[in-house]
Amino acid sequence: MNLDLNIKIGGAAGQGLQTTGMALAKTLKKSGFHVFATQYYLSRVRGGHNTFNIRISDIPVSAMTEDVDLLLALDEATIDQHLDEINDGVVLVDADAIKVNNSSESIFHVPMLKIAKDVCGDKIYSNSVSMGAVIGLLCLDISDLEEILKLSFKKKGEEIIQKNIKAAKAGYDYVKENYPGGCKFAVDDPGKKENLMLINGNQAVGLGALAGGLQFLAAYPMTPSTGVMTYVAANADKFNTVVEQAEDEIAALNMVLGASFTGVRSMVTTSGGGFALMTEALGLAGITETPAVIFLCQRPGPATGLPTMTEQGDLQFVLTAAQGEFPRCILAPGTPEECFYMTAEAFNIADKYQIPVFVMSDQYLADSLFTLPRFDSSKITIERHLLSDQDLRTKKEEYKRYKLTPMGISPRALPGQEGVLVLADSDEHDEYGHICEDAINRIKMNDKRMKKLEVLREEMPVAKVYGKPDANVSLIGWGSTYGPLAEVVDILKGEGKSVNMVHFTHIHPLPVEATKKLFSKTKKTVCVENNSTGQFARHLKLDADLSITDTVLRYDGKPFSPEFIIAALKEKEVI
Amino acid sequence: MVNIEDYGDFETAWCPGCGNFGILKSIKQALVNLGRSPHQVFVASGIGQSSKTPHYLKCNGFNGLHGRSLPPATGAKVANHELTVIAVTGDGDCYGEGGNHFLHTVRRNPDITMIVHDNQIYGLTKGQASPTSEIGMKTKVQTHGVFNMPLNPLSMAISLDCSFVARGYAGKVSHLTSLIEKAIQHKGLSLVDVLQPCVSFNKLNTFKWYSERVYEMDDPGYELNDCVKAFDKSMEWGEKIPLGVFYVNEKPTFEDNLDVLASGPLYKKSPSTEKVDELIDGFV
């Protein structure tokens, strides 16, 4: 890695932080850099202190580092709270508006408000001035920013586009004139790298759902899951998909079960609190053997918790949610690429096994932007596992929705198909779906349902190993920690340490023997999780009989950085 | 040609003499009169004695969770709007546990017929007060008698502008049959609240009690689309209890508002995944 630069923009909610951050991230991606961007925001529409981080590199990056190289301060809180994150970096600030020790060499003052007023007649253009100034300090060409501004303000008309471009240009020119060499992080244009996408986890889940044949989405808005609902809604008409905002999460999952039972691929999107309301309906999916995809985007709990922050605190809840015993499947993608392919995969598993399938994400993955190779839609297949009208015309016996079979999976017909009647019940039922309280029937039906879990277990792919398979130390992660852990392995490899990462995306059921084999030569196993009790470590013990030797846990609402993990490993003397 | 035998004849878990028998008979007869074949009919229900109905009707059924007959019925209607979708529920199921779904399903207005077995008591849990139990009714739980104001389902539905509101009585099977027929034929959400004696637990609102009070509305001057008059009529309760259609307001249904359904049922459409690449391009 020749280039690795971390830009942090700080400001209040409502100050245009996200617009500025997104436009800069897109511009830097357009200029050919690999980009990773995250947001840290509070649960409010106005005020508070929020940040937008953009890391750029000449190689792929998928984690945020802690040292800030360029701090763009749009409010005083940014100076107060983040100045100490600057080790060797610089600050870009409008010193007319924000109190700061102007004499330091690392402070680059640009009178953004004044320029905006002078050039465009309105201080609201100061964000575009700041974008131009950033590009100027990095000594990049301004044309990519101009292109991005054109796209960003397309809906607002030509006059607004031109004013923003003018403001950006003025900020850029001010820097060129007053700081002719830019700042010390002046970078070379890396040359164009075509075909990279800039996409966040929620967008990738929405895209994967549409690619996987989603036709009905019901949800109640809840941060940080809402991005999937809005992404699907924005594209629903093109895809013959219906999106309904339900009155509550209880209605959302019950609607989805009605739609799925009647033959369309359906999903809910929610976060932990909303899912808590869905638990009874989860059991209904279990006993009626109705396919459903549940996108659960975690945030710190309990109850309302920290609504806009991140945590991996719901795994044990999801593993055991709802009364009784029934099979479920849990997937947890680690990157937007995996969000895309695994959401589509979730629909195939749900249809094949007629079970609820979770796609678990969290605020960090949901809101983080990655540059990635273009997704390949041809890799996605849609496997419905339904009886056709032709199958039904040639059938010999009366249709039984819950016919006992060796694999536990009953052939599925749909209500409305001629020649069959399809009946489901939340009570224990017989093969036809009628209520049945007979003990022998109960055992048969319970065994039938649980058999599906064991068949699925054998089909689940084993965790992926990053680094040398026979390393002394294995760092174990699941879901969104993939990026920071991969970087930790790279850094420690550079230090000559024997460390790999075993990353789980297929969380439950775990293929037991194959999973155990991954650790046959490992001396130390460290589970790294964004929660306070090591929930995945407990799951490994229960589901695969694997005991891990140590944990690194974080539960302050923030995601892992490579530095945080390495410091913890050193403190625990694991490495 | 559909016959009443096509809808089956099942042994039930209902008490002998239960009002549910009259309602079941009316549902079957209405479906036969309208010529609906069992495979075209989808009955969703919640939990309660009423909600066992899908097991006593030979058609498609989804006997779901307590209070939750309407959400799966709505989902099924979205997936295949060619189905005749009926939600069979009760006063506890629909007006208590599922109250929120009732409010919002009225707003959504899917073409679903709701048949509420309203016996003013909880039967399955053996005799506690329901949202429509009368003030003063003593039960094993409401030992001092019911204090809470009984909910008036018809007034509530009319005030929400529910597109079809009617009341029937389990003791008048042919009248109830014609109400259910009208409700099924109506495009939009139809509520048929059915007064139903509970012979085991409700010793107040008995067959005799209802029979002495109910009468069929037959005023030729009654205008079905006048919501103020309908609301006024719905308040009549006590010595005289009117039966019939109280209110009708034809308006676009939930399915009408979903353009994608205009060309056929959703479940028959292939997802247009070829457009995924266009979306991917948007991120490049």
Residue by residue, DSSP assigns B201-234 as: T-SSS-HHHHHHHEEE---TT--TT-HHHHHHHH
Q: What is the pLDDT of residue A185?
A: 84
Would you say residue A381 lies in a domain? no
CA-nearest residue of chain A to B257? Answer: A242
- Tell me if B72 and A257 make a contact (CB, 8 A cut-off): yes
A362-421 confidence digits (pLDDT tens): 999 999 999 999 999 999 999 999 999 999 998 888 999 999 999 999 999 999 999 999
Top-confidence residue, A192 or A527:
A527
CA A213 to chain B, closest CA, distance in angstroms equals 5
Q: Check: CB of residue B129 under 8 Å from CB of residue B91.
A: no
Q: For A508-523, what is the mean pLDDT?
A: 96
Q: What is the pLDDT of residue A182?
A: 77
* CA atoms lying within 13 Å on the CB side of residue A180: 0
Q: Which domain holds residue A221?
A: 199-374
Would you say residue A383 lies in a domain? no
B130-188 confidence digits (pLDDT tens): 999 999 999 999 999 999 999 999 999 999 999 999 999 999 999 999 999 999 999 99
Query: Which residues have a Cβ under 8 Å from the Cβ of A56 and sit 6 or more positions away?
Result: A3, A4, A5, A7, A28, A33, A34, A35, A187
Q: CATH code at B73?
A: 3.40.50.970
Query: Which residues have a Cβ under 8 Å from the Cβ of B113 and sit 6 or more positions away?
Result: B84, B85, B86, B87, B180, B183, B184, B186, B190, B192
Would you say residue A324 lies in a domain? yes
Chain A (211-230) residues lying within 8 Å, Cβ to Cβ, of chain B = 211, 213-216, 218
Partner A contacted by B79 (CB < 8 A): yes
Mean pLDDT score across all residues of chain A: 95
Provide the residue type at A482 as one letter.
Answer: Y
A523-533 confidence digits (pLDDT tens): 999 999 999 99
- Tell me if A242 and B78 make a contact (CB, 8 A cut-off): yes
| Neighbour count for residue B204 (Cβ, 10 Å) | 15
Would you say residue A384 lies in a domain? no
CA B168 to chain A, closest CA, distance in angstroms equals 27
Distance CA A215, CA A223 (A): 23
Based on the fold, state whether residues A183 and A74 are members of the same structural domain: yes
Would you say residue A379 lies in a domain? no
Based on the fold, state whether residues A419 and A469 are members of the same structural domain: no
Would you say residue A380 lies in a domain? no
Chain A (180-199) residues lying within 8 Å, Cβ to Cβ, of chain B = 195-199
Mean pLDDT score across all residues of chain B: 96
Res. B207: pLDDT tops 80? yes
The closest of A196, A200, A154 to A372, measured between CA atoms, is A196
Q: Which domain holds residue B219?
A: 4-281
A10-36 confidence digits (pLDDT tens): 998 888 899 999 999 999 999 999 999
Based on the fold, state whether residues A126 and A181 are members of the same structural domain: yes
Distance CA B138, CA A335 (A): 60
Based on the fold, state whether residues A43 and A117 are members of the same structural domain: yes
Based on the fold, state whether residues A365 and A452 are members of the same structural domain: no
| Number of domains within chain B | 1
Give one DSSP letter per residue of A385-422, joined into a string. Answer: ----HHHHHT--S---TT---TTSPPP---TT-TT---
Q: What is the pLDDT of residue A564?
A: 97
Based on the fold, state whether residues A145 and A214 are members of the same structural domain: no
| Strand-by-strand arrangement of the A423-425 sheet | A423-425, B60-63, B41-45, B84-90, B112-118, B190-195, B164-169, B241-248, B214-216
* Three-state secondary structure call for residue A511: coil
Based on the fold, state whether residues A27 and A154 are members of the same structural domain: yes
pLDDT range class, residue A103, cuts 50, 70, 90: confident
Give the strand pairing for B241-248 and B164-169: antiparallel
Res. B257: pLDDT tops 70? yes
Distance CA A161, CA A113 (A): 18
Based on the fold, state whether residues A93 and A183 are members of the same structural domain: yes
A125-162 confidence digits (pLDDT tens): 999 999 999 999 999 999 999 999 999 999 999 999 99
- Indicate if ipTM > 0.85: yes
The percent of residues above 70 in pLDDT, for chain A, comes to 99
Last-in-domain residue among A157, A172, A194: A194
CA B130 to chain A, closest CA, distance in angstroms equals 21
Based on the fold, state whether residues A364 and A403 are members of the same structural domain: no
- Strand ranges (E), A317-443: 329-331, 356-362, 369-373, 423-425
Based on the fold, state whether residues A121 and A241 are members of the same structural domain: no
Last-in-domain residue among A459, A491, A511: A459
Distance CA A25, CA A547 (A): 42
pLDDT range class, residue B274, cuts 50, 70, 90: confident
| Number of domains within chain A | 4
* Three-state secondary structure call for residue A27: helix
Q: Check: CB of residue B131 under 8 Å from CB of residue B216.
A: no
Q: What is the pLDDT of residue A176?
A: 94
Q: CATH code at A507?
A: 3.40.50.920
Q: CATH code at A69?
A: 3.40.920.10
CA-nearest residue of chain B to A199? Answer: B283
Chosen for mutation from A22, A243, A421, A427 (greatest number of chain B CBs closer than 10 Å) is A421
Based on the fold, state whether residues A189 and A208 are members of the same structural domain: no
- Tell me if A242 and B266 make a contact (CB, 8 A cut-off): yes
Based on the fold, state whether residues A102 and A178 are members of the same structural domain: yes
Q: What is the pLDDT of residue A1?
A: 58
Res. A123: pLDDT tops 80? yes
Distance CA A556, CA B235 (A): 57
A445-473 confidence digits (pLDDT tens): 999 999 999 999 999 999 999 999 999 99
Q: CATH code at A358?
A: 3.40.50.970
Phi and psi at B245, nearest 5°, equal -90, 125
Chain B (97-116) residues lying within 8 Å, Cβ to Cβ, of chain A = 100-101, 103-104, 108
